[in-house]
Amino acid sequence: MAPFLLVNPMAAKADFGFEITARMGGRTGGGGRAGVISTPHGLIETPAFVPVGTAAAVKGVTPEQMAGLGAQALLANAYHLYLRPGAEVVEAAGGLGAFMNWPGPTFTDSGGFQVLSLGAGFKKVLAMDTAGLADDQVIAKRSERLAKVDDDGVTFRSHLDGSSHRFTPEISMRVQHRLGADIIFAFDECTTLMNTRAYQERSVARTQAWAERCLVEHARLTEARVGRPPQALFGVVQGAQFEDLRRLAAAGLAHLTWDGAGFDGYGIGGALEKENLAAIVGWVCSELPESKPRHLLGISEIDDLFAAVEAGGDTFDCVAPSRSARHGAVYSPDGRYNVTRARFARDFGPLDPDCDCYTCLGYSRAYLHHLLRARELLGYTLATIHNERFIVRLVAAMRQAIESGGQAAFGRLRDDFLTRYFAP
């Protein structure tokens, strides 16, 4: 295996920017594209998958290993780092990248999803089963409501010790400025698909008002960031499964400015019906400026990535590759499978014969089966390296297809890959 690369060799230092280098159809506006995001800590070639290190760490994997498997950027969670170790500790270390010894680009989300998770107990909103349900007080089974939303912000109790805290758009901006990531997100309200249409309307209006407050506070904090790298602020588009609300939210953010400056990019988040993912991304992207990047929050399933890239998404993040790995679920071109099953106990082949990752080049399914069944921590590390490499490499292949052959090449890659991946 090649030595680990601590940084992308093409990662030149720069202020924030975005350049489109290829489009699927060779036309302006709409559809999938390839590009380059410039940040103070390097370049991100898009489309790109951004692995999640929730608490400033991808569980069980070092930053050097993440660079070695091809990750161009990492995303951490503002809510979790605010609670532990505290944004002031990360700031004192020199910012998120320095704190975790990651020299490349970094993202932090706003904590908006944690409002949903704490408030209603749901850990996943994509493909949520909502048949016949509409309830603005919905809460997951066996969950306790730990957050309350109002028009000014959110009051919540820590999942660590039950202590009470308050997040507003201004507080989220202050926390994320102290964390120092290259790309940060405006504070938003993430709803569930079970919320009523009336509530979704109120939530979109609330998120729009919060976005404006984030722009104002971001401008104030940026002016005070003497001697520190600038940060890019992304607005977050909500609106659940409703086309008019998604378009309204996207257009509202696209036209929102403060002191002549708007958002540097846009996140697409919230409740999504899996079968409507491509349509929703398409609605949103058609309302957003072509010249700015779009990040999909919480997306990593294979078919969803193809759909989102083709509809115009640029970057994606999700905890699923690492979380699945810790439970023994690993990716392969022939579908995802669980290596802890008995049939792999004496299988001495690699997790994926087509994979070039550190794990597949040196370790067998039998060994991973043993480690994970024995709950050895090395098993979590090796499985995570493979899963993250699989997704990073796949999205890189999408980028290469767009650059080399546009829509036709991307379509061939999509059809060939999905046919094999989902074969019975």
**Active site includes 109?**
yes
- Cα separation, 291 vs 18, in Å, equals 7
Helix (H) or strand (E) holding 329: strand 329-330
3-state secondary structure of 419: helix
Q: What is the DSSP letter of 47?
A: S
CA-based end-to-end distance of the chain: 33
Of the residues 304, 317, 354, 416, which is catalytic? 317
Does the bond joining 85 to the residue before it have cis omega, within 30 degrees of 0? Answer: yes
Of the residues 109, 188, 314, 352, which is catalytic? 109
DSSP string, 112-159: HHHHHHHHH--S--TT---TT---TT---TT----EEE-SS-EEEE-T
Which residues, listed in sequence order, are joined to residue 377 by a DSSP beta bridge? Answer: none
Distances in Å between the Cα of 96 and the Cα atoms of 76, 81, 82, 176, 349 are 8, 10, 12, 10, 38
- Cα separation, 225 vs 206, in Å, equals 28
- Cα separation, 148 vs 120, in Å, equals 10
Q: What is the DSSP letter of 282?
A: H
Helices (H), 224-276: 243-254
- Structure tokens given for 271: 């409740």
Q: Counting Cβ atoms within 10 Å, is residue 85 exposed (0-12), middle (13-18) or buried (19+)?
A: middle
Q: What is the DSSP letter of 316?
A: E
Which residues, listed in sequence order, are joined to residue 154 by a DSSP beta bridge? Answer: 149, 167
- Cα separation, 200 vs 191, in Å, equals 7
CA 172 to chain CA centroid, Å, is: 18
**Active site includes 150?**
no
* 8 A C-beta contact, residue 381 and residue 59: no
Closest CA to 171 of 243, 115, 239, 242: 115
Enzyme catalytic residues: 109, 317
